[in-house]
Structure 1
């Protein structure tokens, strides 16, 4: 059951990643159609990759964050 994104940061990153996926431009990151260069691009790229692999959902929006967090715990 997909309950949606309740964390502001997750929603912020997911929106930017969705705009990357919709526009097809990995170099110009936008927020509401305006250029947004306030964060490094790698998290947005990874989230866009998860969206393209698994579809746009709250689970795919946090997939790489959860994967990296699990890796850190296992280290």
Structure 2
């Protein structure tokens, strides 16, 4: 099964490790985003300013403007 996370992006449910609300002001989160960006693992489905949710998979980190609640409901509806 796959989860549509915005735009043209879908992610396999088997690969999802976590779905988190984005905390932009946190220093540790800024460091995390800098690290995954540096390692070319960050995919911005929507711009970081518009992002509400961080989806961590086994291989990549996605930022999307779709809320974590909406994504969770989509998973539950499968």
Larger helix percent: 1
Structure with a larger share of its residues in strand: 2
TM-score normalised by structure 1 residue count: 0.27
Q: TM-score if structure 2 supplies the norm length?
A: 0.27
